[in-house]
Amino acid sequence: MPQAIISVKNLVKNYGTFQAVKGISFDVFEGEIFGLLGPNGAGKSTTLEIIETLRTKTSGDVTVCGMNLDKEPDSIKRVIGVQLQTSGFYPGLTLLELIELFSGLYNEKVDAMELLKLVNLADKAKNKYKEMSGGQKQRFSIATTLINKPRIIFLDEPTTGLDPQARRNLWDLIRDIRRQGSTVIITTHYMDEAEQLCDRIAIMDEGKIISLDSPDKMIDDLVQSGFERPKQVKAASLEDVFIQLTGKDMREE
């Protein structure tokens, strides 16, 4: 059996009389890329922010790296990396200055250049944050989640609004992070992304988990049930055409 690094049991979140999360239970295994999918309003961000200790729950039990959320929230904070909203960065500081600022806040010694290299931004080290493109800002915000060498990284829609090249580049980065031993939890509205990237996914709708499995198994189950695509599937997608024509190189500079 794989080891659960996050365990959620009967988690409920009420906002006033509205129940946003309706008693969900799931485990995230150590070393996996776990996807939380679902339409807007499903309760994904609420669930993540509760696990991240940033939002209070109404009831239920959450364990992160063996620590109980109610008893040791501060210890949990130390072992997780949470992607900040991009607006949280001082626009006039350089990438190097920002990393130094954050590592000071975390009380961590980091090699800022090494970190920027990992997210492919070493050549932008002396540029100001406000000069970055959308994809560069996303990669930079992921770099800042790595400062405290977290065991688990939370990414809430990290690729929304990125062009296909930047999106692929971010997939590679997320795979690198996992290869280095971290567990990754990600939300996305792109099903191709979830299929490519995630070992397992939970699909949420209206506050409940309606399916949890590997993407492969979910697709096989659907086919097994007699589902057929309305038209013949082509051997390539329009996105394949786009990448073939425009190449994989990043285009933000």
Nearer to Mg ion, 44 or 167 (CB): 44
Cβ 91 to Mg ion, closest distance in Å? 24
Nearest to 40 by CA among 60, 15, 20, 18: 20
42 touches, from Mg ion, ligand ADP, none (C-beta below 5 to 8 Å by class): ligand ADP
The amino acid sitting at 160 is T
Residue ranges in contact with Mg ion by CB under 5 A? 44-45
Nearer to Mg ion, 160 or 237 (CB): 160
41 touches, from Mg ion, ligand ADP, none (C-beta below 5 to 8 Å by class): ligand ADP
| Token pair 């285009």: residue | 251
Give me the sheet containing 4-15, strands edge to edge: 18-29, 4-15, 59-64, 67-68
Cβ 36 to ligand ADP, closest distance in Å? 8
Nearer to ligand ADP, 124 or 200 (CB): 200
Cβ 156 to Mg ion, closest distance in Å? 6
| Four-residue CA torsion sign, 116, 120, 122, 125 | negative
Nearer to ligand ADP, 97 or 157 (CB): 157
Residue ranges in contact with ligand ADP by CB under 6 A? 15, 20, 38, 40-46
137 touches, from Mg ion, ligand ADP, none (C-beta below 5 to 8 Å by class): none
How many residues would you count in the chain? 253
Cβ 38 to ligand ADP, closest distance in Å? 5
Nearer to ligand ADP, 6 or 42 (CB): 42
Cβ 184 to ligand ADP, closest distance in Å? 17
38 touches, from ligand ADP, Mg ion, none (C-beta below 5 to 8 Å by class): ligand ADP
Nearer to Mg ion, 47 or 144 (CB): 47
15 touches, from ligand ADP, Mg ion, none (C-beta below 5 to 8 Å by class): ligand ADP
242 touches, from Mg ion, ligand ADP, none (C-beta below 5 to 8 Å by class): none
